[in-house]
């Protein structure tokens, strides 16, 4: 785990051209960390993953989204819900990569399973902001957008009926 602090420090002090290389190194390293080791550093890793979602590199974005979606620790996602939701919505609509748009929609679907009290303030906003994804030029993105939006609508409707 000593590699991550060094890479994190490097990414803030190196030239912009090299930042993408550091981001690629980080996402590739995170994939191979044993879960027992990662559990002790999960908070730092999640903070780093959130930072990586601002990358311009499609490969970094795709790997980061897969890591976030695969993380079953909802407590960790709950700590970053206010930061993650707007980023994921933006990626699901604005990314030039179809795979990034699909992966961000899958992450949004995963986020809908978090504690209802945390996602209630975001429900209507997420549902409304996903509308452009329903008109995406790619059928696979539209299909995933329909699934994700329906999940959020069901969560909202289930919350309103209580």
Q: Cβ–Cβ contacts within 10 Å for residue 114, how many? A: 18
Average pLDDT over residues 58-87: 83
pLDDT for 39: 61
Checking if the pLDDT of 145 tops 90, the result is yes
Checking if the pLDDT of 8 tops 60, the result is no
Whether pTM exceeds 0.75: yes
Residue 57: half-sphere exposure toward Cβ, Cα within 13 Å: 18
* Domain spans of the chain, in order of start: 3-160
Among the listed residues 40, 136, 135, 47, the one whose alpha carbon sits nearest the alpha carbon of residue 95: 136
Q: Name the more confident of 151 and 59.
A: 151
Architecture of the CATH domain 3-160: Alpha Horseshoe (1.25)
Checking if the pLDDT of 2 tops 60, the result is no
CB 85 within 8 A of CB 123: no
Q: Cβ–Cβ contacts within 10 Å for residue 55, how many? A: 18
pLDDT for 148: 97
pLDDT for 1: 47
Average pLDDT over residues 69-94: 85
pLDDT for 63: 86
Mean of all residue pLDDT scores within the chain:
82
Residue 152: half-sphere exposure toward Cβ, Cα within 13 Å: 27
Q: Cβ–Cβ contacts within 10 Å for residue 107, how many? A: 26
Checking if the pLDDT of 4 tops 70, the result is no
Among the listed residues 52, 131, 56, 39, the one whose alpha carbon sits nearest the alpha carbon of residue 84: 52
CB 52 within 8 A of CB 64: yes
pLDDT tens profile 85-128 = 999 999 999 999 999 999 999 999 999 988 888 899 999 999 99
Q: Name the more confident of 11 and 21.
A: 21
- Treating both helix axes as pointing N-terminal to C-terminal, what angle do 42-52 and 16-31 enclose, rounded to 10 degrees? 130
Band of pLDDT at residue 6, cut at 50, 70 and 90: low
């Amino acid at each position: 785990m000593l590699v991550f602090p060094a890479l994190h420090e490097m990414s803030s002090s190196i030239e912009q051209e090299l930042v993408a290389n550091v981001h690629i190194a980080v996402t590739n390293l995170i994939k191979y960390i044993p879960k027992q080791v990662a559990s002790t550093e999960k908070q730092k890793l999640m903070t780093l993953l959130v930072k990586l979602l601002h990358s311009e590199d499609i490969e970094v974005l795709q790997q980061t989204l897969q890591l976030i979606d695969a993380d079953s620790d909802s407590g960790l996602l709950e700590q970053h819900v206010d930061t993650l939701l707007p980023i994921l919505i933006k990626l699901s609509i604005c990314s030039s990569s179809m795979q990034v748009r699909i992966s961000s929609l899958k992450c949004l679907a995963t986020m809908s399973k978090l504690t209802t009290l945390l996602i209630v303030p975001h429900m209507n906003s997420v549902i409304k902001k996903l509308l452009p994804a329903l008109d995406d030029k790619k059928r696979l993105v539209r299909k995933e957008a329909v699934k994700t939006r329906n999940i959020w609508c069901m969560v909202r409707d289930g919350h309103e009926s209580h």
